[in-house]
Amino acid sequence: MSDIRHPRTDQQTQDPADIEDLQEQLRAYRRQIEVGGGQRGIDRQHAKGKLTARERLARLLDPKTFVEADAYLVHKCRDFGLDKKPFLGDGVVTGYGKIDGRGVFVSSEDFTVMGGSLGAQHAEKIVHAQRRARENGLPFIQLNDSGGARIQEGVESLDGYGKIFFENTMASGVIPQVSLILGPCAGGAVYSPAITDFTVMVSQRSNMFVTGPQVIKVVTGEDVTAEDLGGALVHNRTSGVAHFYAANEEEAFGIVKRLLSFVPSNNREMPPRGESTDPVDRETSEIQSLVPEDRRKTFDMREVILALVDDRNFFEVQPLFAQNLVIGFARLANYSIGIVANQPKVIAGVLDIDASDKAARFIRFCDAFNIPLVTLVDVPGFLPGTAQEHGGLIRHGAKMLYAYAEATVPKLSLIVRKAFGGAFIALASHGIGHDFVMALPTAEIAVMGAEGAANIIWRREINEAPEERRDEVRDAKVDEFRRQFSRPYTAGKQGLIDAIIAPEEARWMLVQALEMTIRQRKDRPDRKHGNIPL
């Protein structure tokens, strides 16, 4: 018949000695992969109080879930003696694992291999993990510990960063992306975390800067330490580049796990439901005493948040940056929500450049990942002054307005004390797209505060009053303004407030409004993309 022989019939039985050789080869490869840049590097890493790339993954991921990819890949650089250092895996461990039973893709840079520096193949591995994360609809988590672009590989390293940024951008709004900075993160390396959704930094361990202290010294003559230039505290408190400040690596992993518990794996899924038994109709009478009647007294809005949400479980994001505004995740009736709240305790909760940026980015994350927004309002307005105006308050404030208007998730707003001017528009107006607006009966809603308003509209009456009675007249006019214009019933009669509620009903009313709106669909114009004022 046919002289084509089936390959199987050809197969020779392998010599047992060969099989033993192959198995020993596999064990040898695995040992080599396991030690990365070598035991000396591991010891140096430990001596600095840092974990290795693999130890980190073992702590971040559920036990026995990590599947490594591309472990045998080596760099292709033949120059500068690098061909003598073909470390397996090229300085980064990548793959798939689980956190609390849910899949994630990871990359973890290995500082023991040429300082975790990024060469072309190192970059390809990260890009591969990023692409798989996006295609499979699972979060991408990167652990950074690197000296930046691998100097010997030159421009190919730079191009590698370009590919990583491109993938970060493609994945933005599709899957959650989280960066943990666990060592140096310099030069090109900083921009990938900057594009991801959340960045966690570790105290005294991580640094982020575009140009390091030595270069700054040469260029500007300025003396600055790495910690003062780009340490965890600086980026959490001052620049707003980071979102979470961890005391140590263990705490950083805990932050990632808690964060992921509130968010879906991708933009097509709803966030995981909670399992709380906190009654939805639990009375929140404590809000009455938490919010002082005296308008000049401050209070901690976090306490109000804790009173409202399931099990007092509030996970604050960027707690150290722009503290006049509080953002974070919580649950209501077991639905994940994103909270945006003014903080009267810090500069009276006024909106400024940083608070606007902070709110805008968080709103957009929640919107991208189907997380309803609950806004708690006690705001005197936008911060006046040349520093803010010259710093671009108009441009930055516009980001927040844009983000609220653009968002199609349910948007609920509760005016806890006051909502004036542009801040009312952003945080509590139907006009900008809030779906359900509530106010406590003591709330004030107006174009501006009663003092300022009375001084403008009744200036003549106040100025014409005899000198000794002028303060008295002014106070009376301020009271009159409050009665006539700022009570929530005025806005209610104009159809601008959906419900005026007692403090004890606040949780129940928010839950009802959330359940009413959770399935809503809103259309937006078909376009390539909008042009958010950046």
Q: Residue 117 CB, nearest distance to ligand HXC (Å)?
A: 4
Distances (CA, A) of 11 to 14, 22, 225: 9, 17, 65
Shorter beta-carbon distance to ligand HXC: residue 149 or 509: 149
CB contact set of 150 (below 8 Å; sequence gap of 6+)? 77, 114, 117, 118, 119, 122, 157
Strand pairing category for 436-439 and 411-420: parallel
Q: Which of 89, 139, 176, 187 binds ligand HXC (CB under 6 A)?
A: 187
Q: Residue 186 CB, nearest distance to ligand HXC (Å)?
A: 4
Q: Residue 189 CB, nearest distance to ligand HXC (Å)?
A: 6
Q: How far apart are CA 236 and CA 348, in angstroms?
A: 21
Shorter beta-carbon distance to ligand HXC: residue 225 or 520: 225
Q: How far apart are CA 110 and CA 113, in angstroms?
A: 6
Residue tagged active-site, from 422, 428, 450, 491: 422
3-state secondary structure of 66: coil
Distances (CA, A) of 421 to 102, 274, 526: 44, 37, 31
Euclidean distance between the first and final Cα of the chain, in Å?
A: 74
Q: Which of 97, 139, 160, 188 binds ligand HXC (CB under 6 A)?
A: 188
Ranges within 120-159 binding ligand HXC (CB under 6 A):
147-151, 158
Number of chain positions touching ligand HXC (CB under 6 A)? 16
Ranges within 87-116 binding ligand HXC (CB under 6 A):
114-115
Contact 71, 89 (CB under 8 A): yes
Distances (CA, A) of 145 to 39, 75, 108, 326, 337: 17, 18, 8, 30, 32
Contact 331, 313 (CB under 8 A): yes
For this structure, is 421 an active site residue?
A: no
Q: Residue 185 CB, nearest distance to ligand HXC (Å)?
A: 9
Residue found by looking up tokens 């005197």 in the block:
380
Q: Which of 186, 363, 412, 514 binds ligand HXC (CB under 6 A)?
A: 186
Shorter beta-carbon distance to ligand HXC: residue 139 or 188: 188
Q: How far apart are CA 209 and CA 397, in angstroms?
A: 26
Q: Residue 516 CB, nearest distance to ligand HXC (Å)?
A: 47
Phi/psi of residue 386, each to 5°?
-65, -35
Q: Residue 48 CB, nearest distance to ligand HXC (Å)?
A: 7
Of the candidate spans 88-96, 185-193, 427-435, 486-494, the one that interacts with ligand HXC by CB under 6 A turns out to be 185-193
Contact 57, 108 (CB under 8 A): yes
Residue tagged active-site, from 91, 187, 231, 338: 187
Q: Residue 183 CB, nearest distance to ligand HXC (Å)?
A: 8
Give the pair of three-digit tokens for residue 354. 């940083």
Residue tagged active-site, from 133, 341, 360, 423: 423
**Total residues found in the chain within this entry:** 534
**Does residue 218 touch ligand HXC according to CB under 6 A?**
no
Shorter beta-carbon distance to ligand HXC: residue 154 or 433: 154
Residue found by looking up tokens 């500069």 in the block:
347
For this structure, is 423 an active site residue?
A: yes
Give the pair of three-digit tokens for residue 156. 């190919």
**Does residue 213 touch ligand HXC according to CB under 6 A?**
no
Binding site for ligand HXC (CB under 6 A): 114-115, 117, 147-151, 158, 184, 186-189, 210, 212
**Catalytic sites, residue numbers:** 187-188, 422-423
